[in-house]
Structure 1
Amino acid sequence: RSTYLQTPLLGKTARNYKDFAPIVRVFIDPMVLYVRNESPYKSAKDLIEAAKKSPGKQRWGCATPGSVEHMIANQIQKVAKIDVVPATFEGGGDLLVAVLGGHVDLGLGEPGEVMGQVDAKKLRILATFTESRLGMLPEIPTMKELGYDMVVEKFRGIVGPKGVPQDASAWWEEKIQQVLKDPKYKAYYESVNLIPAFMGSKKYTEYIEKENANLTEYLKEIGLLKQAPKQ
């Protein structure tokens, strides 16, 4: 997502998503909210209620401005009507250390970055930002089901040169669906915490348009994008 949509928006490349033909969306990388095991917050509801009582006190660890994680911290403040301090880190490893050390109240990231510490009982995941609960974490609620209408995803897919013939797109749609059902490949992508999220060319095109609009608005809000670029 950051390469395909964000990089062109920030003027770091002469081309943008409209120069390519979306063929299929294949996966999404789920995003989660986590705290260290000793945290007083036992649920996302606890966390947000505490933030409402003490505006500007909680430090939410996330990646740098413009990242999906930072976008989550920005959006949830509006949706939940809270005021928190986003504490940014260059990478997931630095953020993980900060959460474990109690330097921030929580972290926002991907399951793959934290599951080792979750299994070691050093971290707890309080919520996901997916449309529905994750198969790997069936006991963890989504923010949406908790009453906060937000779904944030990193997506992975295949695009081709503009003007890809319809029969070529149809071939890819058929083959990707077959591959996703392959037991060996399924075992692999589940082991790296990827969620199969097949979407054909037409819907994928509409999805990308919506994602680009949301990302444009967010980048303008945080001051990284002064005006919408011509696309």
Structure 2
Amino acid sequence: MADELGNSIVQPLAKVSKKQKVYKRPPAVEEEIEATLALPLHDAFRLAASGHTRPQTLVYLIRNFRPNRPTPQYDAMVVAFFSRLERSGDRILRDLSENFRERAHTMVQSKVLELIQENDLDIFECSFKLGAERLYLTARSKMKLRVATEISREDLAPPDAEVSTEEIADALAARAGRAGTPLAAVKAELQSIYALLTDEERIAVGHIHAMGLTYAEAAVAMGCSDTKVKYLIKQARDKARETRT
């Protein structure tokens, strides 16, 4: 679909990636968006909300046709968007407990609401799969980090247990061959270190040390270079050393 001068009426993407390349939709996505825009708007909304278009087309309509006030047709598209997003994340979060999966989904949903508000969804129009994976890998690493460092009483003992959390923590430390350093003390030390780290440093530490990824794998998950991941790990280690001096 084009205007009188033969130019496409589909709004171009403008955001530049970290590799200094402008995001670009696949040709098939461009064609589908054009075909969808040829329909009456209410029909286009209904088609996208029912799952009969690519998710990139759904995102395009959400971004470019936001009404001045909420409407059922537009809201249905937003619901469909979050439903597709959650399905994409289920595979990535499958090794987490139900509680941590729910927390990760909530984290991603909050971030996406910010992106919608800021109209910053270019990556989702370029590749919905890539956009979803980046958000969910980040959320997963944060949850993995919490699993490794947050040991609450509820995690260690039931409310009516006759032993204390500290006693259980010490027993776990002894089982791990670290009887000289009780787990309760290790936990306190880790929490003091993590309190000093930035969000990016925590995520990098989670990818490298909690999840066991290589620097290259962590770089892909974080959407940056492996050099930056190495820098973030170095910064985290420097801060950890400072807590021991």
Q: Normalising by the residue count of structure 1, what TM-score does the alignment of the two structures yield?
A: 0.25
Q: Which has the higher strand share?
A: 1
Q: Normalising by the residue count of structure 2, what TM-score does the alignment of the two structures yield?
A: 0.24
